[in-house]
Structure 1
Amino acid sequence: MIDERKLDDCSNKIKVLQATNNVRELQTQIRDKTTARDRFVFAADRLIRLTVEAGLTLLPYSEFKVVTPHGFTYEGLTHQPGNCGVSIMRSGEAMEKGLRECCKSMRIGKILVTTDEETGVANVCYLKFPADIATRKVLLLYPIIKSGDTCVKAIEKLLENEVPQESILLLNLFATVEGARCLSEQFPAMSILTTELSETDIPTNFGRRYFGTD
Structure 2
Amino acid sequence: MSTEQGSGVTVVDHPLVQHKLTLLRRRHTATGEFRNLAREISLLMAYEVTRNLPLERVTIETPLETMEAPLLSGKKLCFVSILRAGDGLLQGMLDLVPSARVGHVGLYRDPVTREPVQYYLKLPEDIASRQVIAVDPMLATGHSAAAAVTCIKQAGASQVSFVCLLAAPEGLAVFSAAHPDVPVFTASVDRELDSHAYIRPGLGDAGDRLFGTK
- TM-score normalised by length of structure 1: 0.88
Alpha-carbon shift at residue 184 of structure 1 (Å): 1.4
CA contact (8 A) 1:64 1:78 kept: no
User: Residue in 2 aligned with 1:9?
Assistant: none
1:163 is paired with a residue of what secondary structure?
coil
In structure 2, how many angstroms separate the alpha carbons of the residues matched to 1:39 and 1:163? Answer: 34
Q: Which amino acid aligns with 2:181?
A: A
Q: Secondary structure at the match of 1:173?
A: strand
Q: Which deviates more, 109-118 or 63-72? A: 63-72
| Equivalence for 1:17 | 12
**How big is the shift at 1:99?**
1.9
Q: What is the aligned partner in structure 2 of residue 183 from structure 1?
A: 175
Classify the secondary structure of the residue corresponding to 1:63.
Answer: strand
Superposition deviation, residue 126 in structure 1: 0.8
Aligned to 1:211: 211
**1:39-118 → structure 2 map (5 Å cutoff):** 39-118=33-112
Whole-angstrom distance in 1 between the partners of 2:70 and 2:14: 29
Q: Identity percentage over the alignment?
A: 25
TM-superposed deviation, 1:4: 1.6
What is the CA distance between 1:46 and its match in structure 2? 1.2
Match of 2:130 in 1: 136
How far 1:66 sits from its partner (Å)? 2.9
Alpha-carbon distance in 2 for matches of 1:48, 1:123: 26
The amino acid of 1:138's aligned partner reads V
Distance 1:194 1:65, change over 3 A: farther
CA deviation vs aligned residue, 1:22-48 (integer Å, no higher than 9, x gap): 222211111110122222222222111
| TM-score, normalised relative to structure 2 | 0.88
Cα separation, 2, equivalents of 1:196 and 1:47:
12
Separation in structure 1 between the aligned mates of residue 13 and residue 74 of structure 2, nearest angstrom: 25
CA apart distance, 1:18? 2.1
Kept in 2: contact 1:82–1:135 (CA 8 A) = no
Question: Does the CA-based 8 Å contact 2:116-2:144 persist in structure 1?
Answer: yes
Deviates more, 1:71-80 or 1:54-63: 71-80
Structure 1 residues not aligned, in runs of 5+: 7-11
Letter in 1 for 2:172: A
Question: How many equivalent residue pairs?
Answer: 206
CA distance in structure 2 between the aligned counterparts of 1:74 and 1:60, rounded to whole angstroms: 16
3-state SS of paired residue (1:155): helix
Q: CA RMSD in A?
A: 1.7
C-alpha contact (below 8 Å) 1:23/1:47 kept by paired residues: yes
Find the counterpart in structure 2 of residue 158 from structure 1. 152
CA shift, 1:65, in A, is 4.1
Q: CA deviation at 1:112?
A: 0.4
